[in-house]
Structure 1
Amino acid sequence: MNKLELRQTILSLLQHKHAVAISSAQRAIESATDEETVPEHKYDTLALEASYLAHGQAMRVQECEQEIQMMSDLVLPESPTKIGLGCVVELIDADDQVKWFFIAPCSGGLKVDIEQQSIMLVTFDSPLGKALKAKQTGDEVEYQVGQYSHCYEIEAIH
């Protein structure tokens, strides 16, 4: 598994997300400052609502920039023996289904397709991430989400 290529693919997805956020923020700002949103009476809140939306979109742009920076700064371990940030983890469930995860500092839940593999980003804040932290190849991992329990064996750490 080429982790540099994986990180570059993740960065491309995050940059696309950032571009969409910038576009959305610009449209929200234009809407908030448009002369059609000027209040006609004291109960007309369209301009106020538009300004709240513009603020939220601006915060989303900042979050995207932080995610891109964190992923760019991430040190990718070369031969990890324990699961940590930057590791690609291969897990096998009870039905012998293989699942791939990338331990990331952000963007948990993002799915990336690379080298005919679907890899999901997991952070240490998630139930699975907490269960995986500092584990080794061969260890079993069990975690619960709601009423569902999940169990995996760690097949490999890259």
Structure 2
Amino acid sequence: MDKSLLQQQVLERLSEDLLQTEQAARAAHETATHEENIAENKYDTLGLEAAYLATGQARRAEGIRQSIVYWRQFRPCPYDASKGIQLGALVCLVDSDDKQQQLFLGPDGGSMKLVSGAQLVQVISSEAPLGKAILGKCEGDEVWIQVAPMRQQFEVLWVC
């Protein structure tokens, strides 16, 4: 599986998200500043609510822009067994029910599912609980994470 193709898919998805978020921010700003939405009394809050929404959308857009910068600068390195799993690793885990999942450990802001060939690949950050748990692990190692009241156990099948 080509990590650079996965990275390109992440960048494309982030660009789409940014476009949608910017459009939503513009629409909320237009609503907030439209003359028909000028408050006539203290209970007329449509313009104020739209302004809050526009601010939130603008912040979200800025976060996506920062994620795009991280992902453009990101250079996944080949797996080095002496260091274990690091940022940029493509990892296959298997759980106690023999269900496999493939993970691509990337920089912050890229949590999404991608398709590579016939495989589904979950992109996670090293700050996510599972991302933290697999850092430094090697093929054959066991990984545990606590999810609410349950403890999940995985084995690292392979890494590249």
Alignment TM-score > 0.5, same fold: yes
Percent of counterpart pairs with the same letter? 36
Instruction: Give CA deviations for 1:98-154 in whole Å, capped at 9, x if unaligned.
Output: 210011112354111112111111222222112111111111111111012111111
Equivalent residue for 1:136, pick from 135, 138, 148: 138
Q: Distance in 1 between matches of 2:9 and 2:95?
A: 26
Gaps of 5+ in 1: none
In 2: Cα distance, 1:18 partner to 1:108 partner: 12
The normalised TM-score by structure 2 is 0.93
1:120 match: secondary structure? strand
Q: CA deviation at 1:10?
A: 1.0
* Alignment counterpart, residue 148 of structure 1, candidates 150, 153, 156: 150
8 Å CA contact 2:108, 2:127 repeated in 1: no
Match of 2:106 in 1: 104
Kept in 2, the 8 Å contact 1:80–1:87? The answer is no
**Deviates most, 34-43 or 23-32:** 34-43
Taking only aligned residues, the RMSD between alpha carbons, in angstroms, comes to 1.3
Do the aligned partners of 1:18 and 1:65 also contact (CA within 8 Å) in 2?
yes
1:23 aligns with 2:10: no
Counterpart mapping for 1:73-88 below 5 A: 73-81=73-81, 82-88=84-90
Determine if contact 2:79/2:85 at 8 Å carries over to the other structure: no
Partner in structure 1 of residue 129 of structure 2:
127
Equivalent position SS for 1:150 = strand
Q: Could you tell me the TM-score, scaled by structure 1's length? A: 0.94
What amino acid is the match of 1:144? Q
Partner of 2:46: 46
Structure 1 runs (4+) greater than 6 angstroms displaced: none
* Corresponding residue SS for 2:127: coil
Cα shift readout 1:3-48 (whole Å, capped 9, x = no counterpart): 0011001111111111110110110111011111101123322211
**Residue 62 of structure 1 aligns with which residue?**
62
